[in-house]
Amino acid sequence: MQPRSDVRCIGLAKVFQSRAGAVPALAPLDIVFAAGRTTAIVGPSGCGKSTLLRLVAGLEAPSSGEILIGAETPADVQRRGGLAMAFQDAALLPWRTVRGNVALSRHLARLAPDPHFVDELIALVGLDGFEDRRPAELSGGMRQRVAIARCLAAKPDLLLLDEPFGALDELTRMRLDQELPALWQQGGATAILVTHSVNEAIFVADRIIVLSDRPARVHADIVVDLPRPRDLSVLRSPEFRDLSMQVTDALGMGGPYERHPLVAE
């Protein structure tokens, strides 16, 4: 396996062309996502968080600037099956079983089939006994467990999580946040998590980047040095509440107040 590398965004900007004219989604950004750590990105709705993630995934081309993962471009990493992305929609293929869906990423990453590892992962995400079920028979939370297992099946260096638990209910989400991140964090993968939930960001990440309203700029960069492993008791700790306040403040300041100072007065 390749040594883990930082993900560096250098002067990264994205402008979308629409009929109404150019819509800048990302202002030129310089961010380094540290190798082997989990970084959460939070920001107001539509601020360009997902665009940033899609750029890193190589699903969009930057308008200017570049992204380097070590010395490689996202396209290079794609081609060697080095990155995996999870979406808000589990995006499972309805005609494949749980096992077939998890194994799919190994196939796409051009890796040899490894049924044993696939079954192990299914057990790790808590779905043993469901290997031969189809997505239609699973609940929303179970589908996202499959999606995460699918991400991990190709042993990626870089994991991109676009609100994977965003559509789930709060209880399910907390349970998944508690169980799943350890799976990639123990493996040492670099992870970038886009989320709307301040609690999720603090609970899961080593660092939180707060983006401003569109076009996105880095508004705050907050280190989360809560000890690991984290369990739900951490939610009641003063450190957690302090971090929560910092992130919430940063989000509030990045909102309409800054652009319309008169309202804030």
Partner 1 sequence: MTALAERPAAHLPSGITGAVGVLLAWELAARALDGTYLLAGPVSVAAYLMENAGLVSRALAVTFESAALGFVIGNLVAIALALMALLVPRAERLVAAVALFVSCLPFVATGPILRVIGGPGTAPQITLAALAVYYVTFLTLMVGLRASPSAWLDLVRSYGRNRWTEIVQVRARASLPYLIAGLQITAPAAFLGAMVGEFTGAERGMGVLAIRAMRGLDVTATWALATVASATAILVYAGIGWIGRRLNAAPPPIILSAPPPETRSSALGSVGSWLLLGAVATCAILLLWAGLMELFGLNEFFAKRPWHVFDFLVTASDAADHRAALFSALLETMYSAAPGYLLGLLLGAGLAVIVVSLPALASTVLPTAIALRSIPIITTAPLIVLALGRGSVGTITIVAIMIFFPTLVACVEGMRQAPAPVIDLFRTYSASRWTSLRLARIPAMLPAFFASARIAVPAAILAATVAEWLATGTGIGSLMAISASTSAYAMLWSSIVVVAALSAASYGLVSLVERRVLTVYASEQLSR
* Range in contact with partner 1 (rule: CB under 8 A) among 29-37, 99-107, 184-192, 239-247: 99-107
Q: Which is nearer to partner 1, 58 or 254 (CB)?
A: 58
Q: Is 22 exposed, middle or buried (0-12, 13-18, 19+ CB in 10 A)?
A: exposed
Place of tokens 């800048």: 24
User: Rg for the chain (alpha carbons), in Å?
Assistant: 19
Q: Which of 22, 23, 61, 93 lies at the binding interface for partner 1 (CB under 8 A)?
A: 93
Identify which range of 27-35, 103-111, 123-131, 221-229 contacts partner 1 by CB under 8 A.
103-111
- Total number of residues binding partner 1 (CB under 8 A)? 28
**How far apart are alpha carbons 129 and 99 in whole angstroms?**
11
Longest CA span, the chain: 62
* Count of other CB atoms within 10 angstroms of residue 172: 17
Other beta carbons less than 10 A from residue 57's beta carbon: 19
Residues constituting the chain? 265
Q: Which is nearer to partner 1, 184 or 203 (CB)?
A: 184
CB of 6 closer than 8 Å to CB of 70: yes
Q: Does 257 bind partner 1 (CB under 8 A)?
A: no
Q: Does 59 bind partner 1 (CB under 8 A)?
A: yes
Q: Which of 46, 95, 139, 237 binds partner 1 (CB under 8 A)?
A: 95
Phi, psi of 130 (to 5 degrees): -110, 10
By CB under 8 A, residue 89 contacts partner 1 = yes
Distance CA(204)–CA(39), nearest Å, equals 8
Write each residue from 143 to 162 as x if it is in contact with partner 1 (CB under 8 A), else as -, in one continuous string.
Answer: -----------x-----x--
User: Under rule CB under 8 A, which residues in 187-206 are in contact with partner 1?
Assistant: none
Q: Least Å distance between CB 109 and partner 1?
A: 5
In 3D space, the residue among 158, 64, 156, 179 whose CA is nearest the CA of residue 109 turns out to be 156
How many angstroms separate the CA atoms of 139 and 121, rounded?
18
CB of 116 to partner 1, least distance (A): 21
Residue ranges of the alpha helices (H) in the chain? 49-56, 74-79, 98-108, 115-124, 140-153, 170-179, 181-187, 198-204, 238-253, 256-259, 261-264
Query: What totals of helices (H) and strands (E) does the chain contain, helices first?
Result: 11, 9
- Decide if residue 164 touches partner 1 (CB under 8 A): no
**Among residues 6, 27, 63, 78, which is the contact residue for partner 1, using CB under 8 A?**
78
Q: Does 167 bind partner 1 (CB under 8 A)?
A: no
Task: Kindly indicate which of the ranges 31-39, 88-96, 169-177, 202-210 contains the residues binding partner 1, using the contact rule CB under 8 A.
Answer: 88-96
Residue 16 interacts with partner 1 (CB under 8 A): yes or no: no
Closer to partner 1 at the Cβ: 17 or 233?
17
Smaller CB separation from partner 1, 75 or 264? 75
Contact residues toward partner 1 (CB under 8 A) are 54, 57-59, 75, 78-79, 81, 83-85, 87-89, 91, 93-95, 104-105, 107-109, 134-136, 154, 160
